[in-house]
Each structure stands twice: as structure tokens, then as C-alpha cells.
């Protein structure tokens, strides 16, 4: 059992966060996770450089959505001034919360010393956090890794800088930047961070089910947990974990009809948001995730990847769930 998290004026309905994932946690997916019980869901990251150009790609990421959760937009960048500008622009577009990304190990971000590369530069971290918090009158949250590498797990120092500069909530992925996604997340540093600050700390990394959620909370003493990859194709993980952590019975796994309707609506939402060409391409990976492990999923996936119209894609989803036998692979 843990206490309620408040971020500025926003009282979260529970302490189970969806992790921001570029290319995945767009508005349709966040809406679905919110419906299935996520207590918080920041947008995919937006580079502070490209934000100002307002490309179609960026617009999709910042667009205000009404999913019952505070609208949190994540920004990444390495220059305090442009980060503050990006934050202000997002608030003007309706962001309720600004989330700063200092956790991404991606080359594209790190070559410009953004994302987790910033952890090597505590002074720059401080400048960015101070500039953003000063510029906007909404709460600012931060996502970090435990440090640049195993020899420098400076997460505690970064967390203290965050608290000192008015960050309202801190999410920590239990890997260093050098780890990328290798090995298993490590929770001791998150526990140390939790001990060293009084702002809410959210533990992240490799939580895939209700028991792991409970274990990570116990190991870290964190105020909440954040789930990323385990939610892909499985937004129901939020209702399971939030119920379990609240001491309630764990809801049944979704039946095939529930998965069908969620996938259909999700894919439809992607077509609407991105248009047919991009929408159906983005939908392909989600289709694969939702049907993972189902009978005849391989053949369904193979066929789904070949389709070039939104209408055909939706029709194939219906056919798979209504007549799975039609996807028996040819011998």
C-alpha cells in the first residue's frame, strides 16, 4: 500500500504510470491505457529543436487529448533556453504538466548531449531544470536513468538537483545510460534516490506483472511504478497492477472479444490520427503485440503486414478474431 501522488494540483487516481515510448505511446495508446487504469501517461518525447518547427510528427505528439489524465508532454534537449521555450509553447498548446527526458539513451538524442547523456553534466542538468521550472507555471516532472555508467551512478545527486530546482515528481529507470537496454534493471539506486529526496519517486524498468510491481515497490520504497514495454499489446496490465497494489482482487485476463475490440479501436484511432499511409504502418507492430501467442497469429501477422489500405487492415482484424481458423498456415 502506498500514498496518493499529487503533481501540482493534479491528484493521480493511482500510482501506476505508463512509461513514455517514442513511436508507441501516442494519443490512441495513452487513451487506451488510461481507460484500463493507468494513473499517469506522458507523451512520447519531442525534441526541443524540432518542436518549434511544428512538423506533423511533432503535432501528433503534443496534441491535447482528453483521456481523463493530466496532459503531460515530454520534451528532450540540451539547451536550457530552448527547453524553456519548448515548455512554454507546449503549455500554450494545453499541456498540464511538462516532463523532461533525461533518460533516453538513443544516439540521435545523445549525440546532442540530450536525454541520458545530460547525466554526465550535472551543472547543465541544473540549468535546464531551473530554466524550465522558472518559465512555466505548470508542474515540471523529470525522467532519468541511474547515471551515465556503472562507475558513475549519480542518480542521487541528480535527484537532489531536481528537488532543489522545483521538480514535482521524478521517474527513474533502473539502468545506466551505458546499459542501454541490456541486462536487468537494478533497483538499489532507485531505493537510494527515494531515501535522498522528498518529492515522489517512480520506479521503472522490467516490471512485467503484478508480482514484480509489488516487489519493485517493496525493494525501492518508491511512491509509484512505471510500466513501458509490458504494456505493449497489453494495456490491461494497468487494471491488474493498480487493483493488486490497492489490495483488490486482480481482474480476469481479457478474453478474445475484449482484445478484439481494443485492437480494432486502437488501430482505427491510429488511422484517424496519422492518416492511412502512416497509420496503417504504425498499427502493424501493435497488431503483432496484441495477438502474440494466439493461435494462428503468425499467419495473421504476415497477412496484416502486406495490406496497404486502412479498410483492409480493419477487415483482416475482424476476420482473425471471428474466424481464426481461416489463418491456419498452409502446410
Ligand X SMILES: Cc1cc2nc3c(=O)[nH]c(=O)nc-3n(C[C@H](O)[C@H](O)[C@H](O)COP(=O)(O)O)c2cc1C
Q: Residue 157 burial (CB < 10 Å; 0-12/13-18/19+)?
A: middle
Q: How far is CA 147 from its chain centroid?
A: 20
Alpha-carbon torsion 25, 211, 5, 253, what sign?
A: positive
- 224 contacts ligand X (rule: CB under 6 A): no
CB nearer to ligand X: pick between 184 and 323: 184
Check: CB of residue 91 under 8 Å from CB of residue 138.
yes
Cell numbers linked to 196: 535522498
Q: How far is the CB of 100 from ligand X (least distance, A)?
A: 9
Q: How far is the CB of 327 from ligand X (least distance, A)?
A: 27
Q: Is 28 an interacting residue with respect to ligand X (CB under 6 A)? A: no
Residue of 31, 32, 34, 45 that binds ligand X (CB under 6 A)? 45
Question: Residues 62 to 121: which contact ligand X by CB under 6 A?
Answer: 74, 101, 103-104
Q: Which lies closer to ligand X via its Cβ, residue 106 or residue 243?
A: 106
Instruction: Write down the least CB distance from residue 23 to ligand X, Å.
Output: 6
Q: Please confirm, yes or no, whether 104 is among the known catalytic residues.
A: yes
Binding residue for ligand X, selected from 204, 220, 234, 313, defined by CB under 6 A = 204
Which one of the listed residues 33, 104, 169, 291 is annotated catalytic? 104
Kindly report the backbone phi and psi dihedral angles of residue 326, in degrees, each rounded to the nearest multiple of 5, phi listed first.
-65, -10
Please list, residue by residue across 207-226, b when 16 or more beta carbons sit within 10 angstroms of its beta carbon and e when fewer do.
bebbeebeebbeebbbbbbb
| Strand pairing report for 201-204 and 40-47 | unpaired
As measured in angstroms, the least distance from the Cβ of 205 to ligand X is: 5
Which residues are catalytic, by number? 104
Q: Which residues bind ligand X (CB under 6 A)?
A: 19-24, 44-45, 74, 101, 103-104, 143, 173, 204-207, 227-230
Amino acid at each position: 500500500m502506498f500514498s496518493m501522488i499529487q503533481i501540482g494540483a493534479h491528484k493521480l487516481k493511482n500510482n501506476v504510470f505508463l512509461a513514455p515510448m517514442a513511436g508507441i505511446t501516442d494519443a490512441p495508446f495513452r487513451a487506451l491505457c488510461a481507460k484500463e487504469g493507468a494513473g499517469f501517461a506522458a507523451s512520447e518525447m519531442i525534441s526541443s529543436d524540432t518542436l518549434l518547427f511544428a512538423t506533423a510528427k511533432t503535432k501528433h505528439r503534443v496534441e491535447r487529448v482528453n483521456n481523463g489524465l493530466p496532459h503531460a508532454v515530454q520534451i528532450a534537449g540540451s539547451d536550457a533556453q530552448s527547453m524553456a521555450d519548448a515548455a512554454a509553447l507546449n503549455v500554450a498548446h494545453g499541456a498540464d504538466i511538462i516532463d523532461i527526458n533525461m533518460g533516453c539513451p538513443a544516439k540521435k538524442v545523445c549525440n546532442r548531449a540530450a536525454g541520458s547523456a545530460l547525466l554526465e553534466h550535472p551543472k547543465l542538468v541544473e540549468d535546464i531544470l531551473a530554466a524550465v521550472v522558472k518559465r512555466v507555471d505548470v508542474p515540471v516532472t523529470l525522467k532519468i536513468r541511474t547515471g551515465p555508467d556503472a562507475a558513475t551512478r549519480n542518480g542521487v545527486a541528480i535527484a537532489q538537483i531536481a528537488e532543489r530546482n522545483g521538480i514535482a515528481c521524478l521517474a527513474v529507470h533502473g539502468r545506466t545510460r551505458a546499459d542501454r537496454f541490456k541486462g536487468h534493471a537494478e533497483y538499489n539506486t532507485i531505493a537510494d534516490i527515494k531515501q535522498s529526496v522528498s518529492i515522489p519517486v517512480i520506479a521503472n524498468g522490467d516490471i512485467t506483472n503484478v508480482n514484480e510491481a509489488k516487489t519493485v515497490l517493496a525493494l525501492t520504497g518508491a511512491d509509484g511504478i512505471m510500466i513501458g514495454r509490458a504494456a505493449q499489446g497489453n494495456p490491461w496490465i494497468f487494471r491488474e497492477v493498480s487493483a493488486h497494489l490497492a489490495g483488490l482482487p486482480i481482474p480476469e485476463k481479457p478474453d478474445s472479444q475484449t482484445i478484439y475490440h481494443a485492437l480494432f479501436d486502437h488501430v482505427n484511432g491510429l488511422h484517424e490520427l496519422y492518416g492511412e499511409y502512416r497509420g496503417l504502418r504504425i498499427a502493424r507492430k501493435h497488431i503483432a503485440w496484441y495477438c502474440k501467442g494466439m493461435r494462428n497469429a503468425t499467419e495473421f501477422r504476415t497477412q496484416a503486414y502486406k495490406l496497404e489500405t486502412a479498410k483492409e487492415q480493419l477487415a483482416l482484424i475482424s476476420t482473425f478474431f471471428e474466424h481464426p481458423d481461416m489463418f491456419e498456415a498452409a502446410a
